[in-house]
Structure 1
Amino acid sequence: MSNHDKYLLKNFSIGLPKIMTYENEKQVETAICKEAVIEAFLTKNGFVGDGVADLKNHGGPDRAVCVYPFEHYALWEKEFGITLPKSTFGENITVTNMLEADVCIGDIYKLGDAVIQITQGRVPCSTINKRVGLPLIMKRMVETGFTGYLCRVLEEGNVCADSKITLIEKHPKAISVLFGNEVYFRRAKDAEAMKTLLSVEELAGEWKGYMTNRLAKLASS
């Protein structure tokens, strides 16, 4: 299999915030319920027609594109005995052969006419639980590290549902998204692991600040 056809775009979705009803008529404003599209233009701040409701925890140039591995859908469907809708996790692109263990912070890919770079693991929120009615799925995503990940846009461009994804450049430090997730979620006192993650200049700014603050607290304790 050549690099050109190794990665397959299984679903391409965007959406603006809207009211989602869950449980017994409770409501929340969220952009997690994205809808499949044929094409959209990708800017430095995300796809035109896409958005977030919680600007503090989502969105921005370091988190312009949300990616989720297609392979995890079968895992969650088997574990929870449910059929999941497309773009369950609010991701823009659902892809094959791009698992958290295999992609690295700083890796660069061509997506349609655009160029994107992986910046951090995705930090799941409870809206995922609400969307699918599974109170444990967010917890399981964190436990496994199967969270998906986020990207910045290096070059703007048009993306289509049948666009090719190709690897342009692997980051030389080869720090996987899965390792980053492990450090972020479970190794709060592992100074060396945090320093390793911080050694990747392309790491998202928010994660840099988070890890730097953790290290400062460890050093002063």
Structure 2
Amino acid sequence: MEIHKLAIGGIQTFNWNNTNTNSAIGKQEVNEAFLTVNGFDGDTVAATEFHGGPDRAVCLYPLEHYSVWEAEFGVKIKTPGFGENISLFGMTEEEVYIGDTFQFGEAVIQITQGRIPCSKISKFNQIDGLLKRVVETGFTGYFFRVLQEGKVERNSELKLLTKSEHAISVLYANQIYFHDRSNKQAIEKILKVDELATVWRKLLIELLAKGNK
């Protein structure tokens, strides 16, 4: 899949609702960047509870969703509008699986979890109901870890190297985590995926523990 935009960015101060907030959601398109196990050089994270770290080094948001939100809310959303590093068509949450591995320029990356969105996506795009709808639909985008570092260019493609044997789509995991938290069988199924991000594994184990009380 050829990427539409490659973007990175530093922390900026935004004035939302008369309150100054630090965020790295406002990323800028670049022609190339070096990708390390901790993310792209020059790319930073403000809300470390939701983003960043080796399991969440790269963020992708499917371009298909932009037209959905634009039609629903009657506005134009400029990419990258969700703080993503990669914008492209053809890799929605339903179409990819946790553990899938891709060649990306010189780098190799692996899907680890769906994104847990925060209110900044609504504030940045000035759409009050956006966060709620992103969670309801599971159209969150998702994260990768970096298995091999290397240079990535604007015209680099994501080429599938290996498909996860567990076939747990990002959308399925999102639906369970956000909307079906008492589904013990489904949670146990997701936990069998060795490539699952540590943060998600911890959250799901906690849900299981609550359900067993």
TM-score class, shorter-chain normalisation, is: over 0.9
Matched residue pairs, number? 213
Matched, 1:195 2:188: yes
In the other structure, the counterpart of 1:171 is: 164
Unpaired segments ≥5 residues, structure 1: 1-6
In the other structure, the counterpart of 1:8 is: 2
Query: Aligned letter for 2:122?
Result: N
State the alpha-carbon separation in 1 of the partners of residues 84 and 34 from structure 2: 16
CA RMSD of aligned residues (A): 0.8
State the alpha-carbon separation in 2 of the partners of residues 40 and 177 from structure 1: 26
Matched, 1:32 2:30: no
State the Cα deviation string for residues 13-66 of structure 1 (Å, max 9, x = none).
00011101224x432100000000011000000000001012222100000000
Shift of 1:217: 1.5
2:100–2:110 contact (8 Å) kept in structure 1: yes
Matched, 1:64 2:49: no
Query: Aligned letter for 1:167?
Result: L
Percent identity for Structure 1 against Structure 2 = 47
- Counting only pairs closer than 5 Å after superposition, residues 42-57 of structure 1 correspond to structure 2 as 42-57=35-50
In the other structure, the counterpart of 1:126 is: 119
In the other structure, the counterpart of 1:145 is: 138
State the Cα deviation string for residues 196-217 of structure 1 (Å, max 9, x = none).
1001010000110111111111
State the alpha-carbon separation in 2 of the partners of residues 118 and 28 from structure 1: 29
SS of the aligned residue for 2:65 comes to helix
Q: TM-score, normalised by structure 2?
A: 0.98
State the alpha-carbon separation in 1 of the partners of residues 23 and 78 from structure 2: 16
Q: TM-score, normalised by structure 1?
A: 0.94
State the alpha-carbon separation in 2 of the partners of residues 162 and 18 from structure 1: 27
